[in-house]
Amino acid sequence: MNERVIVLPIEGMTCGNCVRRIEQALHEVEGVTNARADLATKTATVHIVDGDANAEDLMQAIRIIGYHLSMDKVVLSISGMTCFNCVREVDTALSNVVGVTNVSISLMTEKAVVSYVPGIATMQDLKDAVAKTGKRVIDPDELNRNKPTRRYMVNTGTPRGGCCT
């Protein structure tokens, strides 16, 4: 029996009653062994038994009682997308990651904007989903290394001939 800990960022928690409602709702999800909400950090720490509980059930339990999970948004640069079938394939792969709530992909810029619930989905989950399609998420440092540098001529005020003489 493997136990896993998930930290859920929760919006709308304002008092002790909120904390109790959230903890009670999470405890009712099958496979949850412990759930503690924290008003100060606006999070709930949930201990689940792998295989018995799933993240979708946790997200749904929070939504049903009127709270929302905070989202993160990331822009992924993806190499290898050459057509709209590639876009569809990557969109499907990212959308199927548990915790992903929205995906928008541009073939022209080779970028995907992904909204997800931190604590449920991770950057590694997103990268793995893209990799399964045969495409690759490009590391931002790699993008900067390969970007051509622009050189500008600085006018020092010294005449160079032509119209400036």
Question: What is the pairing mode between strands 68-69 and 32-38?
Answer: unpaired
Once rounded to an integer, what is the mean pLDDT over residues 151-155? 47
Residue 8: which of 117, 151, 146 has the closest Cα? 117
For residue 143, pLDDT beyond 60: no
Equal fold, 3-69 vs 72-146: yes
pLDDT at 154 over 70: no
Q: Say which residues have a Cβ less than 8 Å from residue 148's Cβ, sequence separation at least 6.
A: none
Are the C-beta atoms of residues 99 and 116 closer than 8 Å to each other? yes
Check if CATH label 3.40.50.2300 holds for domain 72-146.
Answer: no
What residues pair up with 124 in beta bridges, in sequence order?
none
Closest CA to 58 of 126, 10, 128, 124: 10
Region 81-103: what's the mean pLDDT? 94
H/E stretch holding 138: strand 136-138
pLDDT score for 145: 59
pLDDT of residue 119: 83
Tens of pLDDT along 39-56?
999 999 999 887 667 788
Q: Where do the DSSP E strands lie in 3-126?
A: 3-11, 32-38, 43-49, 68-69, 72-79, 100-106, 111-116
Instruction: Indicate the domain borders of the chain.
Output: 3-69, 72-146
Cα distances (Å, whole numbers) of residue 122 to 23, 31, 46, 77, 84 = 23, 21, 16, 16, 26
What tokens were used for 36?
């503690």
Q: Is the pLDDT of residue 161 over 60?
A: no
What average pLDDT score do residues 88-110 get? 95
Helix axes 84-95, 123-131, angle to 10 degrees: 140
* CATH number of the structural domain 3-69: 3.30.70.100
